[in-house]
Amino acid sequence: MSLFVDILSWACILGGGFFTIIGAVGTLRFPDFWSRLHAVSVSDSAGMLLFILGMCLQAGLTLVTLKLVLIGIFLFITGPTATHAVANAALVTGLRPPIANDIEPEVEGGA
Protein backbone atom coordinates (compact mmCIF):
# COMPACT_ATOMS: atom_id res chain seq x y z
CA MET A 1 0.00 0.00 0.00
CA SER A 2 2.73 2.45 0.99
CA LEU A 3 4.63 1.44 -2.13
CA PHE A 4 1.56 2.29 -4.21
CA VAL A 5 1.23 5.72 -2.54
CA ASP A 6 4.97 6.32 -3.04
CA ILE A 7 4.76 5.50 -6.74
CA LEU A 8 1.70 7.75 -7.15
CA SER A 9 3.30 10.66 -5.30
CA TRP A 10 6.57 10.39 -7.21
CA ALA A 11 4.63 10.29 -10.46
CA CYS A 12 2.90 13.53 -9.39
CA ILE A 13 6.16 15.20 -8.34
CA LEU A 14 7.97 14.17 -11.53
CA GLY A 15 4.97 15.34 -13.59
CA GLY A 16 5.02 18.65 -11.77
CA GLY A 17 8.72 19.03 -12.46
CA PHE A 18 8.15 18.19 -16.13
CA PHE A 19 5.43 20.82 -16.55
CA THR A 20 7.48 23.43 -14.66
CA ILE A 21 10.43 22.84 -16.99
CA ILE A 22 8.07 22.97 -20.00
CA GLY A 23 6.84 26.35 -18.77
CA ALA A 24 10.43 27.60 -18.55
CA VAL A 25 11.29 26.22 -22.01
CA GLY A 26 8.19 27.86 -23.45
CA THR A 27 9.09 31.18 -21.86
CA LEU A 28 12.44 31.03 -23.64
CA ARG A 29 11.18 29.76 -27.00
CA PHE A 30 8.08 31.88 -27.56
CA PRO A 31 8.57 35.00 -29.68
CA ASP A 32 6.94 37.85 -27.75
CA PHE A 33 5.52 39.06 -24.45
CA TRP A 34 1.94 37.88 -24.92
CA SER A 35 2.74 34.29 -25.89
CA ARG A 36 5.29 34.03 -23.07
CA LEU A 37 2.55 34.79 -20.57
CA HIS A 38 0.78 31.64 -21.75
CA ALA A 39 3.88 29.52 -21.35
CA VAL A 40 4.25 30.57 -17.72
CA SER A 41 0.68 29.57 -16.95
CA VAL A 42 1.59 25.94 -17.71
CA SER A 43 4.00 25.76 -14.78
CA ASP A 44 1.58 27.92 -12.81
CA SER A 45 -1.36 25.51 -13.03
CA ALA A 46 -0.26 21.96 -13.88
CA GLY A 47 3.21 22.21 -12.32
CA MET A 48 2.00 23.74 -9.07
CA LEU A 49 -1.01 21.45 -8.65
CA LEU A 50 0.95 18.25 -9.36
CA PHE A 51 3.78 19.27 -7.00
CA ILE A 52 1.33 20.01 -4.17
CA LEU A 53 -0.61 16.78 -4.79
CA GLY A 54 2.59 14.73 -4.78
CA MET A 55 3.81 16.34 -1.55
CA CYS A 56 0.39 15.80 0.07
CA LEU A 57 0.64 12.08 -0.75
CA GLN A 58 4.14 12.00 0.79
CA ALA A 59 2.98 13.72 3.97
CA GLY A 60 -0.15 11.65 4.52
CA LEU A 61 -2.98 12.81 6.77
CA THR A 62 -1.04 15.34 8.86
CA LEU A 63 -0.96 19.06 9.57
CA VAL A 64 1.57 19.39 6.74
CA THR A 65 -1.05 18.23 4.25
CA LEU A 66 -3.55 20.77 5.57
CA LYS A 67 -1.00 23.54 5.11
CA LEU A 68 -0.11 22.31 1.62
CA VAL A 69 -3.79 22.31 0.64
CA LEU A 70 -4.14 25.87 1.93
CA ILE A 71 -1.04 26.96 -0.05
CA GLY A 72 -2.53 25.28 -3.12
CA ILE A 73 -5.86 27.07 -2.74
CA PHE A 74 -4.19 30.46 -2.29
CA LEU A 75 -1.91 29.94 -5.31
CA PHE A 76 -4.93 28.71 -7.28
CA ILE A 77 -6.65 32.06 -6.66
CA THR A 78 -3.70 34.48 -6.71
CA GLY A 79 -1.87 32.94 -9.70
CA PRO A 80 -4.39 33.92 -12.39
CA THR A 81 -5.01 37.24 -10.64
CA ALA A 82 -1.30 38.10 -10.90
CA THR A 83 -1.21 37.01 -14.56
CA HIS A 84 -4.23 39.19 -15.25
CA ALA A 85 -2.57 42.15 -13.50
CA VAL A 86 0.57 41.80 -15.64
CA ALA A 87 -1.44 41.43 -18.87
CA ASN A 88 -3.71 44.35 -18.02
CA ALA A 89 -0.74 46.59 -17.15
CA ALA A 90 0.83 45.73 -20.53
CA LEU A 91 -2.40 46.58 -22.34
CA VAL A 92 -2.90 49.86 -20.48
CA THR A 93 0.65 51.00 -21.20
CA GLY A 94 -0.02 50.44 -24.89
CA LEU A 95 1.54 47.09 -25.76
CA ARG A 96 -0.92 45.72 -28.31
CA PRO A 97 -1.11 41.95 -28.71
CA PRO A 98 -0.07 40.66 -32.14
CA ILE A 99 -2.88 39.01 -34.06
CA ALA A 100 -2.33 36.21 -36.56
CA ASN A 101 -2.45 37.33 -40.18
CA ASP A 102 -5.42 35.20 -41.16
CA ILE A 103 -7.72 36.50 -38.41
CA GLU A 104 -9.92 39.57 -38.75
CA PRO A 105 -9.07 41.78 -35.73
CA GLU A 106 -11.94 42.91 -33.55
CA VAL A 107 -12.46 46.63 -32.97
CA GLU A 108 -9.78 48.03 -30.65
CA GLY A 109 -11.08 49.65 -27.52
CA GLY A 110 -10.33 47.20 -24.75
CA ALA A 111 -8.39 49.64 -22.63
65 lies in the binding site for another protein (CB under 8 A): no
Contact pick of 8, 17, 35, 65 for another protein (by CB under 8 A) = 35
Three-state DSSP string of 48-86: HHHHHHHHHHHHCCCHHHHHHHHHHHHHHHHHHHHHHHH
Closer residue to another protein in complex, CB, 5/92: 92
Helices and strands, number each (H, E), in the chain: 4, 0
Q: How far is the CB of 50 from another protein (least distance, A)?
A: 10
First to last CA, the chain: 55
Q: Point out which residues bind another protein (CB under 8 A).
A: 19, 22, 25-26, 29-31, 34-35, 37-39, 41-42, 44-46, 49, 63, 66-67, 76-77, 79-81, 83-84, 87-88, 91, 96-100, 102-103, 105-106, 110-111
